[in-house]
Structure 1
Amino acid sequence: MEVTNKPKVLVTAPFDPAVAELLAADFEVKIINPTMSGDSLADRLLEAELSTANVIVAELDVVDEATLALAPHLQVVISCRAKPVNVDLAACSARGIPVVTTPGRNAEVTADLSFALLLATVRQVSASERWLRAGNWSAEDVFEPYERFRSIGLGGRTLGILGGGAVGRRMMRRALGFGMNVKVYDPFLASDTFGVDAEVVPLEEVMATSDIITVHVPLMPQTEGLIGTEELALMKPEAFLINAGRAAIIDESALMEVLRNKRIAGAGFDVYYQEPLPANSELFTLENVTLTPHIAGASDDVIAEHSRITAKALKAWRLGEPMEAIANKTALAPAPA
C-alpha cells in the first residue's frame, strides 16, 4: 500500500471528476457514490475511510456526533449546501472543526428556473399545453387558443424582487434583458446599490407597484411569513407572484385565500409548505397556478460549481490561508482576552 502524507479527503457528495483529478496533486481524494437517503454518514459502512479522513465533503449525508466519533483525524467539514443543514455545527465547533459551506452554488440555475417559471406563468405555457394535449384545439374555432391564453408582455413591466442576494441579482439581470423595470426589497442594501439598473425600495412599494413579484429572500426567523394578508392585499389584481425560493416566506393561509378568490392574475411555485406536494393539494385545482416539483437546483452545473468552491476552500486550508464561508466561524473564534 502506498504511503502518502497528503491530507485525506472523503467525498460523499456528487463531485466533478475533473475537479477531483486536479485535487489529487495535493490531496488523497476518496470519492464514494452519493446516496439520496440523508442518513448519518456513520451508517454508510465507511468506518475505514472515516478513521483516516482529514476532510469530509458531504451534501445529503449527515455529519453528526456518530460520524465525528468515527473520524478522530477530522480537521475540516465541507457541506455542499448554502446552509450546513446536514452538519451538527455544535458538535464540530466543540472539536474545533470548521464547517465550510458552498453559497451561491445553484444561484445561476435557480435564477434560470425562476425566470422560466415566471414566463410559463405569465404566458400560460403550462395551461395552454394541457389544453392542447387534451385535444381541445378544433377546426371549428382555430383561433380559440389565441383568445383563451392572451397575456402580457414583459417589456416595460415592473419586476419586484424580494431579496437582493445571489439569486435576486441574477433575476435582475435577466429582467433587464427583457426590457423590464426592476424594484428590489432588501433591508440590508442601500437605495443606490444597483445604480440605474434597479431601485431598492420598501417592501410595501414592491408589493403595490410591481406587475410580477418573485421571492428570493433567505428563510430565517425574521423572514418567515414576511408576506402575509396585508402585503398580498397590496398587489395589483393583474399582478403575478412567483416563488422558487422558500415557501414559508409567504403565509400559507393568506396565499391560498388570494389564489382561491383570484385576487391576482396568477402564480407560479417551485417550493411548497409540504414536500412532496400532497395529491389532494388544493393547488392542483387552481387554473391560475403553474407548478414545478422543486427543481430549481436540479442541474449538473450545480455539482460543478460546488466542486469548484470546495476545491478553492481545500487549497486555502492546505496553504494555511483563510477559508471563505465558514458557518461556525464565531464559535471557533478564540475568547477575547
Structure 2
Amino acid sequence: MTSAKTLRPRLLITAPFDPAAIERLADLFDVDVAEPSLEGASLARPELADRLAVADAVVCEVDRVDEKALDAAPALKFVVSCRASPVNVDLPACTRRGIPVATTPARNAEITADLAFSLILSTVRHTSAAERWMRAGHWTAEDIFEPYARFRGIGLGGRTLGILGGGAIGRRVMRRALAFGMDVLVYDPFLAADEFGQQADVVGLDVLMSRSDIVTVHVPLHESTVGLIGAEEIALMRPDAYLINAGRAAVVEEEALLSALREKRIAGAGLDVFWSEPPAADAEWFRLDNVTVTPHIGGASDAVITEHSRIAERALRAWAEGGQPAAVANAADLLTESRHA
C-alpha cells in the first residue's frame, strides 16, 4: 500500500534558502535540499541526476533550467526562479511543456534601496575617498584641518532627488529620501502624475534630469530603457549634480557618462554596476577622483535569501494547493498554449 507521504510532490531546492521556510514546506512537500552552486551551469549536473529525475517542483537561483535540465526532469510540473526576472530559465521550453515558472519579485528591493542610498551619501559626502586618504596616512598634525577643506560635500536636506523608475526599489529609495528632508521627482512613463500625492512629483525625463541635484537609476532593463540616459540627457544635468547607478549599467551610455565625469561637466557619480563586470583593472572609473565604486553588491545580503524564500514558499503553497501563484512569468503564454492545444 502506498503511503500518503509518497503521494506528496517532491520538491528540489538548489537555491540558498531559509531553513525555517524549508521546515514549513515539509508539511506539503517531500523536500530535497541540494548544496547551492554559483557556477550558473545547467541544473542537469551529474550529482543531481537522480534527484532531478523525480522532482515535481524545483526552486533555483543560479542554476539554469534549460532544455537539458527539462529533458532530465520528466516529472517536473513547477519551477520557481529566485529572481525578479527568470533569466536562468528557458521560458519558451517550460511553456511548451506546460510548466509554470514563478518568480520572486522585489526580493532585494529593501537592501538595494539601502545600497543606493549608501552610494548617494558616500558620493556626495566623499566618505570613501576620505577613508582611503586617511588610511594612506595623509592626515597629519601639520595640517589638521586639511580634510575639512579637501572633502567638503553637500547636505541632502532640501535637495532634489530624481528617481528613474517608480517601482519597488524606486519607491523605497523615495521613502529614504523623504526621511532626509529631500524633495523627490520620479520619472516613470507608466505612472500617473498624482501617483505619489504630496510625496513626489511624477515628471518627464528632461525635467527630472535638469532639476535634480542627484539622479538615481532604478528602471528595469528592457529595450526601451537601454541607453535611456545618453549624452543629451546628461547634458541637461547641472555641473553640481550627481548620478547614482545601483540598478542596471546599460540604462546609462558608458562613454557619455565617462566623458561628462572626465570633463567635470557633472559633479560626480556613484556606481555599483558596470558595462563589463568585473571592469578591467585599468578601467578609467578607477582613475577618476569624482567617482565612487562598489562591486555590484546591491543584493549582497542574507536578507535577500530570507525574502526570496518567503515569496517562493508562498508560490509553492499556492501551486500545491491548486491555486494561482502571484508572479508567474509565463502565465499568459501558458494560457495561449492551452487555447491552441
Distance 1:97 1:301 in 2: 29
Distance 1:6 1:294 in 2: 40
Distance 1:26 1:319 in 2: 9
Aligned to 1:24: 26
TM-score using structure 2 length: 0.97
Give the C-alpha shift of residue 335 in structure 1.
2.5
Q: Give the partner amino acid of 2:88.
A: N
Q: Give the partner amino acid of 1:335.
A: R
Residue 198 of structure 2 is aligned to residue 196 of structure 1: yes
Count of residue pairs the alignment pairs up: 337
Q: Deviations for 1:112-133, whole angstroms, at most 9, x for unmatched residues? A: 0000011000000011011111
Q: Give the partner amino acid of 1:315.
A: R
SS of residue matched to 2:116: helix
Aligned to 2:278: 276
Q: What's the RMSD between the two structures over aligned residues?
A: 1.3
Distance 1:27 1:156 in 2: 53
Aligned to 1:119: 121
Aligned to 1:51: 53
Residue 327 of structure 2 is aligned to residue 315 of structure 1: no
Match of 2:42 among 40, 43, 64: 40
Q: Deviations for 1:122-155, whole angstroms, at most 9, x for unmatched residues? A: 0000110111111111111100100111111000
Higher mean C-alpha displacement, 115-124 vs 2-11: 2-11
Give the C-alpha shift of residue 209 in structure 1.
0.3
Distance 2:139 2:52 in 1: 61
Aligned to 1:287: 289
Distance 1:199 1:310 in 2: 34
Q: Give the partner amino acid of 2:275.
A: Y
TM-score using structure 1 length: 0.98
Match of 1:206 among 196, 205, 208: 208
Distance 1:330 1:169 in 2: 27
Pair 44,176 (structure 1): closer, same or farther in 2 beyond 3 Å: farther
Aligned to 2:248: 246
Give the C-alpha shift of residue 311 in structure 1.
0.6
Aligned to 1:165: 167
SS of residue matched to 1:56: strand
Give the C-alpha shift of residue 279 in structure 1.
0.3
Q: Deviations for 1:204-248, whole angstroms, at most 9, x for unmatched residues? A: 010000000000010001100000011000001000110000000
Residue 321 of structure 2 is aligned to residue 335 of structure 1: no
Residue 110 of structure 2 is aligned to residue 104 of structure 1: no
Give the C-alpha shift of residue 45 in structure 1.
2.1
Pair 262,44 (structure 1): closer, same or farther in 2 beyond 3 Å: farther
Aligned to 1:143: 145
Give the C-alpha shift of residue 252 in structure 1.
1.0
Unaligned runs of 5+ in 2: none
Give the C-alpha shift of residue 44 in structure 1.
4.3
Give the C-alpha shift of residue 43 in structure 1.
1.8
Aligned to 2:85: 83
Higher mean C-alpha displacement, 314-323 vs 207-216: 314-323
SS of residue matched to 2:44: helix
Q: Give the partner amino acid of 1:205.
A: V
Give the C-alpha shift of residue 325 in structure 1.
1.1
Q: Deviations for 1:240-274, whole angstroms, at most 9, x for unmatched residues? A: 11000000000111111101111111100000000
Aligned to 1:219: 221
Distance 2:52 2:45 in 1: 11
Distance 1:336 1:35 in 2: 38
Give the C-alpha shift of residue 327 in structure 1.
0.7
Q: Deviations for 1:279-325, whole angstroms, at most 9, x for unmatched residues? A: 01010000000000000000000000000001100111111111111
Distance 1:184 1:336 in 2: 42
Distance 1:263 1:325 in 2: 42
SS of residue matched to 1:41: coil
Q: Give the partner amino acid of 2:188.
A: D
Aligned to 2:265: 263
Distance 2:324 2:13 in 1: 21
SS of residue matched to 1:307: helix
Aligned to 1:296: 298
Q: Give the partner amino acid of 1:247.
A: A
Q: Give the partner amino acid of 1:187.
A: P
Q: Give the partner amino acid of 1:137.
A: W
Q: Deviations for 1:25-80, whole angstroms, at most 9, x for unmatched residues? A: 11111110101100001124211111110001000000111111111111101000
Q: Give the partner amino acid of 1:292.
A: T
